[in-house]
Amino acid sequence: MDREERLARAQAALVRWQKELVRLAYSYTLNLSDAEDCVQDALMAYMKKAPDFESIESEKAWLIRVTVNRCLSLLRTAFRKRTQELPDEIGATEEDKSVLEALKSLPGKYRVTLHLYYYEGYKLQEIAQILKTRPGTVGTWLDRGRQALKLEMEASI
């Protein structure tokens, strides 16, 4: 595959998944510009590696995995922008602000698990694959995250 086709594929993936990926990265970084950076990095990797996918869903799963990795390494670096996102910037209501406060008290892994489960609708098994851990662990993270956020949802883990 030549450069032009790889570029076209990466651009298509950008247009296709930008919102999902930025929201996912936000759940980890809790900061919009950091989230955008991570997604950008993931797309650069996509263009460089140009992996072949059987379906559009596996493309998305790959991008999610890479975005999560970028978020992890971003959180590890000492130089990362420590600016706090102002809740008003995203048009947050009072309820949202309390959710944001609760999210801040959780480790990133828990937040991303919540996001993949509730927002992207992945199953525990799939989340475990994406986060490279065991389904039981994902269940625990999800449970704690849910308690912290006081989400009284069905407990069918």
Partner 1 sequence: MKDNKYTRLADKIEPGEDFVQQTMEKLKGRKQKKPAWLPALTSLTAVAAFVLVLALVLPYIYKPVNERTESGLPAPDIQANTAVPVEVWEDADYMDVAMEAAESEVYDGFSAALGAKTMMYGMPAPMPSGAFLPEGYNTEEYSHITESGFKNVATSPLSTFAIDVDTAGYSALRRKLLEGDTLPESSIRIEEMINYFSYKELNPEDESDIKLSAALGSCPWNEKAALMFVAAGAKKIRTEDLPASNLVLLVDVSGSMDSPDKLGLVKRSLALMVKNLRACDRVSVVTYSGREKVVLEGAPGDEYTRIMDEINALNASGYTNGEKGIVMAYELAEKYFVKGGNNRVIIMTDGDYNVGVTSEAELVELIEQKKQTGVFLSVLGFGMGNYKDSKLEMLADRGNGTYAYIDSITEARKVMVEEMGASFFTVAKDVKIQVEFNPDYVASYRLIGYENRALNDEDFADDTKDGGEMGSGHTVVALYEVIPAQNAVIAGVTGTQAEDSALRYQTRTSSGIEEIATVSLRYKQPDKDVSELMSLAVTPDMDAQGAGLRNMQLASAIAEFGMTLRNSENRGTASFDMAFKTVQGLDSLTNEETELLYLISKARGK
**CB-facing half-sphere around the CA of 27: CA atoms within 13 A:** 21
- Exactly one of 69, 100, 108, 135 binds partner 1 (CB under 8 A); that residue is 100
**Among residues 51 and 134, whose Cβ is nearest to partner 1?**
51
Site for partner 1 in 48-77 (CB under 8 A): 48
Give the separation between CA 5 and CA 47, rounded to whole angstroms: 9
Closest C-alpha to 63, from 1, 33, 18, 2? 18
Residue whose entry in the numeric block shows the structure tokens 């006081």: 150
Does 101 interact with partner 1 (rule: CB under 8 A)?
no
Per CB under 8 A, residues contacting partner 1 are: 2-5, 7-12, 14-16, 18-19, 22-23, 26-27, 32-33, 35-36, 39-40, 43-44, 47-48, 90-92, 95-96, 99-100, 114-115, 118-121, 149-151, 153
